Structure 1
Amino acid sequence: MTAFLPEGKRIDTAENSNALSSYENMRAAMERGDILEARAVLCDHDHNLKVDLPCMRGVIPREEGALGIREGSVRDIAVISRVGRAVCFVIKEFIRRENGMTAVLSRADAQQQCARQYIGGLHVGDVIPARITHLEPFGAFCDIGCGLVALMPIDAISVSRIEHPDERFSVGMDIYAVVKSVTDNRVTLSHKELLGTWAENAARFAVGETVTGVIRSIENYGAFVELMPNLAGLAELRDNLRVGDTAAVYIKSIIPQKMKIKLIIIDHFGEPHVPAVPDYFITSGHIECFTYSPPESNRLIETIFR
């Protein structure tokens, strides 16, 4: 298991719990330079984070709260927003006082280690784990290691178009992504290439079946219904259809040459679509080229990773 995980994925592991269970184990972890995790419980008026440790007090001084705080390139909200959440850190030192032992921790050093040893070694096309941290209309921000964030633009999330990333993801969701670009340790991600080709998705359905889908757009010639995040079909219009509705659809035909699925809407419901963890075809390794279109199609849709 990689040492550089999205923040929060390490906190409940036996390895992490053992390292924090005693002063002796924490000192050994400090000497090894281990990255550990615990929960931030308070941010004081000087923006120092108090961290919940099982055997002593823990503090992350403000300037150690995030990579860039010390230099002024990152705002204090990066520290304040961690209260109530898991934080990663390395142990800097122990201070013994009359009221007990305090561990001085550094999240910034853990992030620097991650940036240098992990993110700096990523290549375009690498498939990596990530965790959704927040969503904006233009894309999803993902923690790719120790709280360091990469952007996934909305048009890279799936082949089936969406109006907002919250139609596909929720904050805190663990996903996989593929590295789209790396510039000065700034990473951009893609996602749709991990969700299968047209043929792989279409193989899950058969003519004559009635299945559920999500209405993604309504045009004057029909309604596009998403069957899978990378597969949509065209249905004849019905009254009172709304984008985002769940629909029961009958599969009339599947035409690989045209990458088309013709549908008939049997019924539709006002229930909002709740995003589920994606069903991936690829979760590891490296991608050089992703070809979405089937061989028999006249259209070529592919992504080249360079």
Structure 2
Amino acid sequence: MPENKIYLPEGLRPCAPLTPALLRDALEQETILEAPVERCDGSRALHISLGPIDGLIPREEAISPWISGASRDIALLSLVGKPVCFTVTSLAADEKGAPHALLSRRAVQEKALDHLLETLEPGMLLTCRVTHMESFGAFVDIGCGIVAMLPIERISVSRIPHPAARFRTGQKLLAAVLSIDRENRRFTMTHRELLGTWMENASHFSPGETVQGIVRSIREYGAFVELAPNLSGLADLKEGLKEGDRVSVYIRSIRPEHMKVKLQIIQRLPPPIYPAPLRYQITDGKLERWVYSPPSYEKPPVVTDFTASEISGSDADIIS
């Protein structure tokens, strides 16, 4: 079971219709609720529809100040149309006598951060949600709007040009804590270990099969074709081939002792509409040491040591 089940990422908590009685209970019990932001007014307060009652998150209660970029208007404007977590801080009537609820997202975020800093350790698995992506990695919500970094080289063993080749914004995924900077209250995540070892991925393929793949890298001596996010093979070059092409490939051989898959490209295929679904080999527990390489591998193993937050072995060994 992932370790952030109490403080789920925004967008993963049910948004049930709320009655005045349920809101009063939420106020008394400090229950975490979630609903989409309807609009952001000129004072940068967030307006939320709570069924029969209007909710308001004042600007100072919308984002905790320790979050990077919290003081910028775009941090608030970008929340419109998206679900946010909050607690009810007061119930009253507005100037027209209509029921009115004051809400705080900041209070939830501060509780979530305190909990994550106190309980998380490297190797623990979390449910995450992709918030946005840059060329260097994906930013993922690990609980109530707390955003962590997932570097591009930690997304999968197979190298990708951009996180959008693997994820979509808003996508739910699993990731493991790689490191924690408690002084600066930052988390770095890793994802590729959950997608399985070389042998776990290679076991889904057999010599003589023809399967689909994506060209991830073109070198003078051949093209690396991704068969799965954690498994690539080498094929001879084909005229007109480009990185990102979807192809059908014939599997010539699978050699665990060299960690190599030899392929032959049959033809180019139409491009995929969406990134391929993720197949996780690990979905719960705590990782301490993950070895990607097969036991028979003739070079030093490719390892993630979560107790030291270090990686041994070379990424070049993985794809070459």
SS at match of 1:257: coil
1:3 Cα shift?
Answer: 2.0
**CA separation of 1:257/1:154 partners in 2, compared to 1, >3 Å: closer, same or farther?**
same
- How far did residue 116 of structure 1 move? 1.1
Consecutive unaligned residues in structure 1, runs of 5 or more: none
> Is the CA contact 1:57–1:103 (under 8 Å) kept in the aligned structure 2?
yes
Judging changes above 3 Å, is the alpha-carbon distance between structure 1 residues 24 and 41 closer, same or farther for their aligned structure 2 residues? same
Paired AA for residue 82 in structure 1: L
| Superposed CA RMSD | 1.7
- Amino acid aligned to 1:55: P
- Which TM-score applies when normalising by structure 1? 0.94
Give the letter aligned to residue 161 of structure 2: E
2:310 alignment partner in structure 1: none
In structure 2, the residue matched to 1:246 is 246
Q: For residues 270 and 124 of structure 2, what CA distance do their matches in structure 1 show? A: 39
2:86 to 86, 89, 103: 89
The 1:178/1:75 distance shift into structure 2, 3 A limit, reads: same
Which residue of 177, 180, 193 corresponds with 2:178? 180
For each residue in 1:49-96, what CA deviation from the matched residue of structure 2 results, as whole angstroms up to 9, or x when unmatched?
Answer: 000111201000000011118999642322211101101100000122
Confirm or deny: 8 A CA contact 2:63 2:70 kept in the other structure. no
The answer for the alignment partner of 2:286 in structure 1 is 286
Question: 2 CA distance for matches of 1:169 and 1:289?
Answer: 25
* Partner Cα separation in structure 2 for residue 194 and residue 115 of structure 1: 24
Percent identity (aligned): 45
Change (3 A) 1:71 1:182: closer
Partner of 1:303: 304
Structure 1 Cα separation of the partners of residues 154 and 61 of structure 2: 34
Report the CA distance shift for 1:128/1:86 in structure 2 as closer, same or farther (over 3 A): same
Q: Tell me: CA distance 1:114–1:70, structure 2 relative to 1, closer, same or farther (3 Å).
A: closer
CA contact (8 A) 1:130 1:177 kept: yes
Counterpart in the other structure of 1:221: 221
Q: Mean alpha-carbon deviation: is it higher for 204-213 or for 275-284? A: 275-284
Query: How much does 1:32 deviate?
Result: 1.0
TM-score normalised by L of structure 2: 0.90
Contact 2:69 2:75 in 1 (8 A): no
The corresponding residue for 1:274 is: 274
Q: Counterpart of 2:110 in 1: which secondary structure?
A: helix
Corresponding residue for 2:37? 40
The answer on whether the counterparts of 1:64 and 1:108 sit within 8 Å (CA) in structure 2 is yes
Structure 2 unaligned spans of 5+:
308-320
Letter in 1 for 2:52: C
Structure 1: how far apart are the matches of 2:76 and 2:239? 50
For these two proteins, the number of residue pairs brought into alignment is: 300
